[in-house]
Amino acid sequence: MAERFDVLVEGISEQTALSLLMAQTSSLQRPADRYFAATRLGLSDSKESLDALLMATSNLKIEELYDRITRRKAIESLGRRKDKRAIPALVDVLHCSDTEAVINSIYALIRINWDPTEEDRELLLSLLDGECTQVRAVIQAHTRLGIKHLKAEKAIYELCDHEHALIAGAARAYQAKLYGKNHLLDQLETQLSNLTAGKRRSAVIDLGDARDPSRIATLVQAPISISLRANSCFQIINHQHPQQRKQLNEQLELLLIDNPQRLNIRTEWQCSLDPEEIERCLSHRDEAIQYGAALSLMTLDSELCLKIINSMEDRLWSDYVTHYYLTCIVGLREFSEKSYLVRSALAETTPQYTKSRVAAAWACLKLELYDQLELIYELSNTAHWEPLRWSCQQVFARMIDRQQISNE
């Protein structure tokens, strides 16, 4: 379960979760509570909850559906706990036949910052002979953990032109990050404008893993989820020299303001100016088509744009995709009459709306909402997601500067 959905399990107490985790499926009215319990224990920090997750990882069988899913969730939760005591159990999982469990275990080991032995490295490398998503996870483990040896270099290099973009992209990121073959990333930049959304998204992740700062400008202009692009850009920037990080601030700002007029939106993703078409495209699963609709909202005359915002606000404000784009447009077009939407978005603490808070922070700067300074300052220090925290730091500093100038 994605961490943004933690709200679904926060109402379960640790003791309840412990009682559900290893329960017999047949004894429960709602068997799904078992894997919710595993996710809940990932939020705990007690030894008892850690031991329970380890037991579930080692003892649950994969033949019964809910045992299998609960075990996968327990493995995922051990990764979130980042406790090195979980490493032996997670390495044992790499031997099992449940591919999803193996993949979860690899990602958990990455989060724990595993330092594999030579024997572990051989085991991990052997998993390149598997399903596409497993092979991708194995390559990403080599990249993110910095596993560098001749056998891995050769085996992964041979995958750079694999027919599956998920495998080829991860292989290119590995070669670029660990062996300096940055020219291999050119194909990933091209992939950012691919008509297939999944290929665009995987390219964003792979470019983040490669950590080549020269690719940030292209990432900034890609019509792909702002959350995904921001995560990759910060991943790149945080591994640069402080002076170079400072030089990249302008690109970060362009990224996080997220003006659709600055994105490379292909003709196939553009949207007409018809209100019904804009609303339909804004709800599309492909972010490029969503951005095409947002571009239309930026193009319309103010009166019609406000009319569309009013209509969608009444019916769709709770939808987190619409919520984000409306917050963006209000700020970008400086619709002061809609500033209450910006205040509402900035105050929204539900995880699914975190990117709306980023848009709201920049909108506060545009609309000069000085009554939000206290909240912006708080978020600049405490926000868990770095793009939100960084945005609030920039916005707060500039609003204070403007305030001081106006008082002189």
pLDDT of residue 244: 82
Task: Supply 237's token pair.
Answer: 């920037």
Can you tell me which residue has the tokens 């917050």?
A: 327
C-alpha of 59 from chain center: 31
Neighbours of 91 (CB within 10 A): 18
Cα 12 to Cα 1: distance, rounded to the nearest angstrom: 15
Q: Where are the domains of the chain?
A: 1-112, 115-257, 272-407
Q: What is the pLDDT of residue 4?
A: 55
According to CATH, the topology of domain 1-112 is Leucine-rich Repeat Variant (1.25.10)
Q: How far apart are CA 374 and CA 395, in angstroms?
A: 12
| pLDDT score of 1 | 42
Residue pair 290/282 in contact by the 8 Å Cβ criterion: yes
Tens digit of pLDDT at every position of the chain (408 positions): 455 556 567 678 999 999 999 999 999 999 999 989 999 999 999 999 999 999 999 999 999 999 999 999 999 999 999 999 999 999 999 999 999 999 999 999 999 999 999 999 999 999 999 999 999 999 999 999 999 989 999 999 999 999 999 999 999 999 999 999 999 999 999 999 999 999 999 999 999 999 999 999 999 999 999 999 999 999 999 988 888 888 899 999 999 999 999 999 999 999 999 999 999 999 999 999 999 999 999 999 999 999 999 999 999 999 999 999 999 999 999 999 999 999 999 999 998 999 999 999 999 999 999 999 999 999 999 999 999 999 999 999 999 999 888 776
pTM metric for this prediction: 0.92
